[in-house]
Amino acid sequence: MYEIAVDIGGTFADFVARDKQGRALTVKIPSKREDPEETIISGLRDLAQKSGLKLKEFMPQIDKFVHGTTVGINALLQGQGAKTALITTEGFRDALELRRSQLSEQWDFGLPLPPVLVPRYLRIGLRERMDYRGVPLISIDQAQIAEIAEFLVQEKVESVAVCLLFACRNPTHEKEFKYLLQALLPNVFISLSSELSSQVGEYERTSTTVLNARLSPLLSNYLLEISNHLQDFGLKVPISIAQNNGGLTDLVQARKKAVTTLFSGPAGGVKGGWALAHELSLSELVVTDMGGTSFDVSLIRLGKMEVTPQSEVAGYPLQLPMLDIHTVGAGGGSVAWLDHGGMLRVGPHSAGANPGPACYGLGGAEPTITDAALVMGLIDAHDFLGGRMILDVEQAFKAIETKIAHPLGLSVPEAAYAIYKVALSLMIDAVYLMTVKKGYDPRLFSLAAVGGALPLFATALASGIGINKVVVPEMAPVFCAQGLHYAPFQVEVSSTVFEPLGESVNSNLQQTLLQLKDQADQEMSRLGITEDQRSYVWSADLKYPDQHHEISIELPCDVADFPLWQQLGQEFHAQHQRLYGYCQTEKSLTLVNVKLLVKEKEKIPSDQTEHYTILETPDDGMCSLYLNGKFQTLKSYRWKNLKPGMCLKGPAVIKKEYTTVLLEYNCQAYIDQFGNLLIYLGRDALNECQSG
């Protein structure tokens, strides 16, 4: 029997199959954005072939199928989605367009804002009203609903987002509206803000609901089609979908809540980093993932994944908890170009998988990072994607010469190296943004280099940010798919309180907490997770009365022994001191939200670090690379020939199926017992290989 994890990226699709003994089969193929179903079937067919079976024989042997998808995020970035209307409280239909009256770049007043996803004529004010405590003031005008339904039919609206004022305190009116409208328009998708994010923040809640309404019909159709398609080929188990928070859900929830899956693929990489950190006892780890389209950075701190309560996607707020991932357009397919001032730039736009980089020979004429790496000798033209593709060096050379080298007065190798260095600088900046700008010292972290392209940059990146230890996992080229194997089923629920923290709140809190627990338990039971398989994490969002943002305080307790409000206050002041260097204990506090995360109990990989006698490693030949202004001859190794304890000294190249590792001059590396490549830089390299 096999457990399958599939991550469909913007350029490549990764597949990992694990049998009951833990042995893994991997496949990496180009993505077909126009036909993701065919991409999945092609990858599964290759996995079946590697296992010695035909696809129809392989599929019934799958007992778990996890899918990380980019259908939702790709649709958003490409301006696709269902025709959507917005229903909000009368007098508040322009909240979506007023936004927060702030600029992403505070000094650039000409910076264009992302387009409003629902035009004003499709934003409808509903006659109803709740006060800030959730007490009904004006009942829903039921006669108006028939008028709204008639208008939606006339405009051929496919989806409706409903975000009523203070529905986060009392969702009764939203639920009533959905019930009445659904009876009139049974084929229209309806998304309620209270079912997505029951938290204060009218604009953020509205934006989240609109995004969900716009994307869910599209994702729903895709998931239904792929599920039926896989069943036709013999799949017997339901598909599990990865979420932004690193957990799993089923098709029922994923089809209704597309916004929870926007970053399901990259979330698998963070989960894989979490498992790697526990496996190697690395409490502080920077996970850097470079695929064909983007470069992603996330952190593992104190053995935990970093989570942000809300984020921004393509300029639109998303008021949902998700793993904290910073993304820049610096993937293997990112295009190199010259701006109006003649400055060399890389990304953020990508050549994708088709036509792809110029070297793919599919009609692409723009130079990319992949083309530069090929010209530099970092990529073997005859062994790309495990030999699946033969790259065209002449086309890469021509693209760089025409677009970059000739205008800048450089030789083609010089221009290729310049592209490499610019891409590297983008990565260094991204890591600094996630560490230094948050008050963390990157020198205290180790670096995990994953994705098909990042091992080419790993040691240069670590050196540029002062990190002395790099881990290239054995499954680095398919790491996001690998990480999905560790993802548990999980459910997150929340409730807005927004009251001064004190005894009066504490006395009413017990009922709210019990309701949250009951809500989450019902969903976990539906997912098939029994009570003994569940773990509970409670948290509360608090702030000073005059603050705009809150701080989330994790509570190490269950509902039955929820701490007194004084204990909550003490922990908030202590956390505020740690984060900002001061606290104001004389001030009262506001309890904004209470939250509950329920997840399937995880199997945490244990540290099994062993020490080896360091052995010299025979090389597998030599290769020529363009580095530091000249072509150099370096030793070349095959990863599959390396044994635990063998010591590799830089400069050298290590070739692996689907990727290549470049060791700089000041590096030494060896394979550990898990099959990971551990690289040490500078003085640490000397000490490690001398001590064994």
HEC per residue, 307-356: EECCEEECCEEECCCEECCEEECCCCCEEEEECCCCCEEEEEEECCCCCC
Q: For the residues 610-616, what does the mean pLDDT come to?
A: 48
pLDDT at 295: 92
Q: Is 215 helix (H, G, I), strand (E, B) or coil?
A: helix
pLDDT at 77: 79
Determine the angle formed by the axes of helices 412-434 and 369-376, rounding to 10 degrees: 120
CATH number, span 490-600:
3.30.1490
Beta bridge partners of 241: 67, 249
Distance of CA 323 to the CA centre of its chain: 7
- 123 versus 627: the higher-pLDDT residue is 123
In angstroms, rounded to a whole number, what is the distance separating the alpha carbons of residues 591 and 555?
A: 14
Topology, domain 83-220: Rossmann fold (3.40.50)
Per the prediction, the chain carries an average pLDDT of 89
- CA end-to-end span of the chain: 39
Query: Phi/psi class of residue 22: alpha, beta or left (left: φ > 0; alpha: ψ in -120 to 50)?
Result: left
pLDDT at residue 650 tops 50: yes
In angstroms, rounded to a whole number, what is the distance separating the alpha carbons of residues 673 and 669?
A: 13
- Rounded CA Rg of the chain: 26
pLDDT at 424: 96
Q: For the residues 387-409, what does the mean pLDDT come to?
A: 93
Strands 667-671 and 677-681: antiparallel
Strands 311-313 and 622-627: unpaired
pLDDT at residue 588 tops 70: yes
pLDDT at 272: 94
Report the percent of the chain where pLDDT is more than 90.
60
Given a contact cutoff of 8 angstroms between Cβ atoms, the answer to whether 651 and 442 are in contact is no
**Phi/psi at 110 (5° precision):** -95, 0
In angstroms, rounded to a whole number, what is the distance separating the alpha carbons of residues 96 and 89?
A: 12
Q: For the residues 212-235, what does the mean pLDDT come to?
A: 94
Q: Which residues contact 475 (CB under 8 A, 6 or more apart)?
A: 16, 24, 26, 272, 482
**Phi/psi at 382 (5° precision):** -100, 5
Given a contact cutoff of 8 angstroms between Cβ atoms, the answer to whether 317 and 207 are in contact is yes
pLDDT band at 103 (very low <50, low <70, confident <90, very high): low
CATH number, span 2-68:
3.30.420.40
pLDDT at 546: 85
What sign has the CA pseudo-torsion 367, 369, 370, 375?
positive
- From the list 601, 565, 597, the residue with the least C-alpha distance to 494 is 597
**Phi/psi at 149 (5° precision):** -60, -45
Count the Cβ atoms, other than its own, within 10 Å of residue 343. 10
In angstroms, rounded to a whole number, what is the distance separating the alpha carbons of residues 380 and 623?
A: 10
Determine the angle formed by the axes of helices 412-434 and 393-400, rounding to 10 degrees: 80
Cis? peptide before 321, omega within 30° of 0 = no
In angstroms, rounded to a whole number, what is the distance separating the alpha carbons of residues 607 and 294?
A: 31
CB burial class (10 A; 0-12, 13-18, 19+) of residue 223?
buried
Q: For the residues 29-58, what does the mean pLDDT come to?
A: 90
Report the percent of the chain where pLDDT is more than 70.
93
pLDDT at residue 408 tops 70: yes
pLDDT at residue 562 tops 70: no
Structure tokens at 435: 């560490």
pLDDT at 211: 96
Q: Is 296 helix (H, G, I), strand (E, B) or coil?
A: strand
Given a contact cutoff of 8 angstroms between Cβ atoms, the answer to whether 400 and 374 are in contact is no
Given a contact cutoff of 8 angstroms between Cβ atoms, the answer to whether 62 and 475 are in contact is no
Give residue 98's identity as a one-letter amino acid code: L
Give residue 92's identity as a one-letter amino acid code: F
Q: Is 429 helix (H, G, I), strand (E, B) or coil?
A: helix
pLDDT band at 95 (very low <50, low <70, confident <90, very high): confident
pLDDT band at 147 (very low <50, low <70, confident <90, very high): very high
- Domains of the chain: which residue ranges? 2-68, 83-220, 490-600, 615-691
Specify the DSSP element, H or E, that contains 40. Answer: helix 36-50
pLDDT band at 683 (very low <50, low <70, confident <90, very high): low
- 458 versus 496: the higher-pLDDT residue is 458
Specify the DSSP element, H or E, that contains 98. Answer: helix 95-98
HEC per residue, 461-479: HHHHHCCCEEEECCCHHHH
Q: For the residues 490-511, what does the mean pLDDT come to?
A: 79
In angstroms, rounded to a whole number, what is the distance separating the alpha carbons of residues 267 and 279?
A: 18
- 660 versus 607: the higher-pLDDT residue is 660
In angstroms, rounded to a whole number, what is the distance separating the alpha carbons of residues 264 and 273?
A: 15
pLDDT band at 688 (very low <50, low <70, confident <90, very high): low
Q: For the residues 215-220, what does the mean pLDDT come to?
A: 95
Given a contact cutoff of 8 angstroms between Cβ atoms, the answer to whether 647 and 689 are in contact is yes
pLDDT at 526: 94
